[in-house]
């Protein structure tokens, strides 16, 4: 075996040279990896006894892409293009052997091999769009030359990780080899290529798959139209489409030049900077400073869920999809049957939609049990309580769980604002108690606020973070305070929405400002979705949503709320709602004035940022990027704007402080900048610079 460099070796298996990359965690295309590939292919090419060359990776995956962390630093050593030219022009057949994920630059490298083999569990894709980018190493030109324009459009604009079996059906993978035997399978395939004298197939030379789309601009126009809603506000999907158009309409080398031009444009955009930030923010959220990475986790295989309502049901579906065994407990037989029915139907739908195999669906259904007796939680590893939001009810439940559950079981509450420490104090084992705040609909929404109580044990916290990932969530740690991180900040926005209406802003205009900023909907549309019955006034309160509720306008579930709806839930302005708003202003003795869209945006976002600063200062959030991860995954903040704290950093904290002070002078001390915000602004720093 020859050591090429710190991450690459070359060895010979008979007449097949094998280049092995080993650059944990994901073999990203860093300078040493590019150097290793370049020198490895050079050496293999020069070795007269090698007749074919296999590229294989060690560790969890094939190359997962360019080194995102290294973007922006000066290039060192051979470029990726140098490596690709070397592979594609190799006079000996090159075979890429894929396991784990061949993503982005990783797939682009594999596309320069003459053949590709993969194990069945492997996935391939060009996910650059999710980083606000386009593939920049020929992916947009080579992919359509194998799968055709339409499939390529789907892949580059969705960033989907395509399973090896589907990739093989599209011709992206030439042969599937036995799981766990990739190296041997790839070598055997290489021998077959040699024995059969198969050609050195260069993807770049294949025109057959792109030719049919040439002269058919409607393919692209229709694709844009069909996805307009999904792509709204983003820059990268359109750039990806244009690059595939170039693959169809231009000769290969010109297409590559166009791809490069488009890549550089998106790379320099604030959108991509924000989306790359979001990628690392989500991963940083897994790191808890005082909890060691190698903390011994508790085994969680079985979960008990108390409550089969909307929330409990959604949580159950997530757990089942994550491979856990679930026991759902309800008080009444009808409620249990209804809840189980909805869970089963939702799980079954995955097979119809093709998002799960029939076997997976059967397994999930078999893993689901229902019961009317909490005593059936006695053997479960984790209980998630999703009952009514009332402290006395919760305490009573936790007292019972304490008596029923086995030692070491984790007891979690899905409360969205109650004090987890108080709940924990109702048990004899507060160290085992934690908050798991799911967002509705819990089977769809990615965010999971993991609420760490004062006494929550470190291994309980680490275990729940792991379970969160296993069930497909983005877990973020929050400390105990009313509303935790997300809802505490959201409340500030809600207060302003109502204040703005009182001062004269039209709810429809407020919603439009939010929509134009990139949120999927504004606060009033949101209330219509949630339902006024859920958010009606608390005793002593007199809010606009309360007035809407009293007028019998519950929102989408009823006759309408702030908007009217047709049978397909299309919204139209509501004359009835206008009357309620006018009456509400009268009752409150409000004086109406013209409110600009700029003021609406400032007054909606600045208090959220200011509250975020307090959350950070109090240690409720570990780091500012955790707050952003929460807003991106639970509150519809557009990912190309990075989250409220990132957004504030882009505005400049000095500007944020100045604006808050202007509003403080007009509207009172609620607008006083948080001390941490003032301090960072005075030091010329951003939230991202804050270290505890």
- The crossing angle, in degrees rounded to 10, of helices 333-353 and 310-321 is 40
Stretch that binds ligand 3H9, among 3-11, 67-75, 562-570, 666-674 (CB under 6 A): 67-75
Asked whether position 622 contacts ligand 3H9 by CB under 6 A, the answer is no
How many Cα atoms are found within 13 Å in the side-chain-facing hemisphere of 499? 14
Which residue carries 């999930």 as its tokens?
364
Query: For this structure, is 150 an active site residue?
Result: no
Size of the residue set binding ligand 3H9 (CB under 6 A)? 25
**Least distance between ligand 3H9 and beta carbon 678 (Å):** 32
**Least distance between ligand 3H9 and beta carbon 242 (Å):** 15
Residue 83 Rama label (left phi>0; alpha psi -120 to 50; beta): alpha
Stretch that binds ligand 3H9, among 43-51, 58-66, 535-543, 641-649 (CB under 6 A): 58-66
Q: Enumerate the β-bridge partners of residue 328.
A: 305, 370
Interface pick for ligand 3H9 out of 36, 135, 638, 673 (rule CB under 6 A): 135
The structure tokens listed for 128 are: 């650059």
The structure tokens listed for 599 are: 């003021």
1 CB burial (10 A radius; 0-12, 13-18, 19+): exposed
**Least distance between ligand 3H9 and beta carbon 395 (Å):** 37
Stretch that binds ligand 3H9, among 14-22, 63-71, 363-371, 411-419 (CB under 6 A): 63-71
Task: Specify the 3-state DSSP secondary structure of 71.
Answer: coil
Interface pick for ligand 3H9 out of 26, 113, 167, 467 (rule CB under 6 A): 26
Task: Specify the 3-state DSSP secondary structure of 99.
Answer: coil
Interface pick for ligand 3H9 out of 32, 93, 127, 435 (rule CB under 6 A): 127
Among residues 39, 128, 385, 576, which one is catalytic? 128
**Four-residue CA torsion sign, 452, 454, 459, 460:** negative
Residue 18 and residue 12 in contact, taking contact as beta carbons nearer than 8 Å? yes
Q: CA-to-CA distance for 597 and 595, rounded, in angstroms? A: 7
In the region spanning residues 275 to 314, those forming contacts with ligand 3H9, defined by CB under 6 A, are 283
User: For residues 275 and 525, which CB has a smaller minimum distance to ligand 3H9 in the complex?
Assistant: 275
Q: CA-to-CA distance for 516 and 532, rounded, in angstroms? A: 25
Residue 522 and residue 498 in contact, taking contact as beta carbons nearer than 8 Å? no
Interface pick for ligand 3H9 out of 50, 54, 68, 397 (rule CB under 6 A): 68
Among residues 108, 282, 385, 498, which one is catalytic? 108
C-alpha distances in Å from residue 224, one per residue of 229, 242, 260: 9, 11, 22
**Four-residue CA torsion sign, 493, 415, 384, 300:** positive
**Least distance between ligand 3H9 and beta carbon 280 (Å):** 6
User: For residues 105 and 304, which CB has a smaller minimum distance to ligand 3H9 in the complex?
Assistant: 105
Asked whether position 131 contacts ligand 3H9 by CB under 6 A, the answer is yes
C-alpha distances in Å from residue 555, one per residue of 528, 531, 550, 564: 4, 5, 12, 8
Stretch that binds ligand 3H9, among 24-32, 146-154, 448-456, 509-517 (CB under 6 A): 24-32
Sheet holding 123-125, edge to edge: 101-103, 123-125, 162-163
User: For residues 108 and 678, which CB has a smaller minimum distance to ligand 3H9 in the complex?
Assistant: 108
Interface pick for ligand 3H9 out of 55, 66, 155, 630 (rule CB under 6 A): 66
**Least distance between ligand 3H9 and beta carbon 127 (Å):** 4
How many Cα atoms are found within 13 Å in the side-chain-facing hemisphere of 678? 7
User: For residues 71 and 388, which CB has a smaller minimum distance to ligand 3H9 in the complex?
Assistant: 71
Query: For this structure, is 678 an active site residue?
Result: no
The structure tokens listed for 500 are: 């703005």
Asked whether position 67 contacts ligand 3H9 by CB under 6 A, the answer is yes
Stretch that binds ligand 3H9, among 125-133, 181-189, 425-433, 575-583 (CB under 6 A): 125-133
The bridge status of strand 563-565 relative to strand 571-573 is: antiparallel
**Least distance between ligand 3H9 and beta carbon 226 (Å):** 25
Interface pick for ligand 3H9 out of 35, 39, 88, 128 (rule CB under 6 A): 128
Q: Enumerate the β-bridge partners of residue 302.
A: 325
Asked whether position 69 contacts ligand 3H9 by CB under 6 A, the answer is yes
Sheet holding 302-306, edge to edge: 368-371, 325-329, 302-306, 382-385, 410-413, 433-438, 447-451, 474-478
**Least distance between ligand 3H9 and beta carbon 282 (Å):** 8
Interface pick for ligand 3H9 out of 137, 152, 382, 680 (rule CB under 6 A): 137
Residue 674 Rama label (left phi>0; alpha psi -120 to 50; beta): beta
User: For residues 130 and 443, which CB has a smaller minimum distance to ligand 3H9 in the complex?
Assistant: 130
In the region spanning residues 77 to 106, those forming contacts with ligand 3H9, defined by CB under 6 A, are 80, 101, 103-105
**Least distance between ligand 3H9 and beta carbon 139 (Å):** 6
**Least distance between ligand 3H9 and beta carbon 430 (Å):** 30
Q: Enumerate the β-bridge partners of residue 326.
A: 303, 368
Asked whether position 108 contacts ligand 3H9 by CB under 6 A, the answer is yes
Residue 326 and residue 303 in contact, taking contact as beta carbons nearer than 8 Å? yes
- Residues interacting with ligand 3H9, by CB under 6 A? 25-26, 28, 61, 64-69, 80, 101, 103-105, 108, 127-128, 131, 133, 135-137, 139, 283
Catalytic positions, written as ranges: 108, 128
């Amino acid at each position: 075996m020859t050591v090429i460099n710190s991450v690459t070796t070359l060895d010979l298996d008979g007449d097949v040279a094998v280049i092995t990359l080993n650059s944990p965690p994901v073999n990203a295309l860093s300078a040493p990896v590019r150097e290793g590939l370049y020198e490895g292919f050079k050496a293999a090419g020069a070795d007269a006894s090698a007749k074919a060359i296999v590229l294989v990776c060690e560790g969890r995956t094939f190359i997962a892409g360019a080194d995102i962390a290294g973007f922006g630093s000066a290039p060192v050593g051979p470029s990726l293009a140098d490596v690709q030219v070397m592979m594609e022009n190799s006079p000996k057949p090159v075979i890429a052997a894929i396991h784990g994920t061949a993503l982005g630059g990783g797939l682009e490298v594999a596309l320069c091999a003459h053949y590709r083999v993969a194990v069945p569990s492997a996935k391939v894709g060009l996910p650059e769009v999710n980083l606000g980018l386009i593939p920049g190493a020929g992916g947009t030109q080579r992919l359509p030359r194998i799968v055709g324009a339409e499939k390529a459009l789907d892949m580059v604009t969705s960033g989907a990780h395509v399973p090896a079996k589907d990739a093989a059906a599209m011709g992206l993978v030439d042969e599937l080899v036995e799981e766990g035997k990739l190296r041997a399978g790839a070598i055997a395939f290489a021998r077959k290529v040699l024995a059969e004298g198969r050609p050195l197939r260069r993807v770049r030379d294949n025109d057959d798959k792109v030719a049919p789309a040439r002269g058919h601009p409607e393919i692209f126009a229709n694709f844009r139209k069909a996805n307009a809603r999904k792509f709204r506000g983003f820059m990268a999907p359109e750039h990806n489409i244009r690059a595939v158009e170039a693959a169809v309409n231009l000769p290969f080398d010109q297409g590559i030049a166009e791809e490069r031009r488009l890549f550089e444009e998106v790379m320099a955009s604030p959108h991509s900077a924000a989306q790359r930030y979001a990628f690392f923010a989500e991963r940083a959220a897994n790191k808890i400073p005082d909890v060691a990475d190698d903390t011994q986790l508790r085994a969680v295989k079985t979960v008990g869920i108390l409550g089969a309502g909307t929330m409990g049901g959604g949580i159950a579906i997530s757990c089942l999809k994550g491979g856990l065994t679930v026991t759902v407990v309800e008080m009444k037989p009808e409620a249990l049957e209804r809840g189980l029915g909805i869970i089963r139907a939702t799980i079954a739908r995955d097979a119809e939609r093709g998002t799960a195999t029939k076997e997976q669906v059967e397994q999930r259904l078999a893993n689901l049990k229902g019961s009317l007796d909490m005593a059936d939680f006695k053997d479960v590893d984790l209980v998630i309580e999703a009952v009514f939001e009332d402290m006395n009810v919760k305490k009573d439940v936790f007292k019972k769980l304490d008596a029923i559950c086995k030692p070491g079981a984790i007891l979690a509450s899905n409360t969205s604002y109650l004090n987890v420490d108080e709940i924990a104090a109702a048990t004899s084992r507060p160290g085992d108690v934690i908050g798991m705040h799911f967002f509705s609909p819990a089977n769809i929404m990615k965010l999971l606020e993991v609420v760490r109580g004062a006494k929550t044990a470190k291994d309980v916290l680490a275990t729940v973070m792991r379970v969160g990932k296993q069930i497909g969530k983005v877990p973020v740690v929050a400390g105990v305070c009313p509303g935790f991180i997300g809802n505490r900040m959201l409340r500030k926005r809600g207060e302003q929405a109502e204040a703005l209406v009182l001062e004269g802003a039209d709810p429809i205009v407020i919603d439009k400002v939010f929509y134009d900023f990139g949120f999927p909907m504004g606060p009033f549309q949101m209330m219509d979705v949630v339902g006024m019955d859920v958010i009606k006034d608390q005793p002593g309160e007199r809010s606009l949503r309360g007035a809407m509720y009293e007028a019998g306008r519950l929102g989408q579930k009823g006759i309408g709320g702030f908007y009217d709806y047709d049978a397909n839930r299309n919204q139209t302005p509501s004359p009835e709602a206008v009357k309620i708003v006018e009456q509400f202003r009268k009752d409150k003795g409000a004086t109406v004035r013209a409110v600009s869209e700029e003021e609406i945006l400032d007054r909606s976002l600045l208090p959220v940022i200011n509250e975020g600063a307090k959350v950070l200062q109090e240690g409720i959030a570990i780091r500012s990027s955790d707050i952003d991860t929460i807003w991106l995954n639970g509150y519809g903040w557009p990912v190309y704007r990075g989250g409220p704290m990132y957004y504030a950093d882009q505005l400049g904290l000095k500007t944020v402080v100045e604006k808050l002070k202007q509003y403080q002078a007009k509207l009172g001390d609620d607008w006083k900048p948080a001390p941490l915000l003032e301090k960072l602004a005075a030091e010329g720093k951003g939230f991202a610079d804050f270290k505890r």
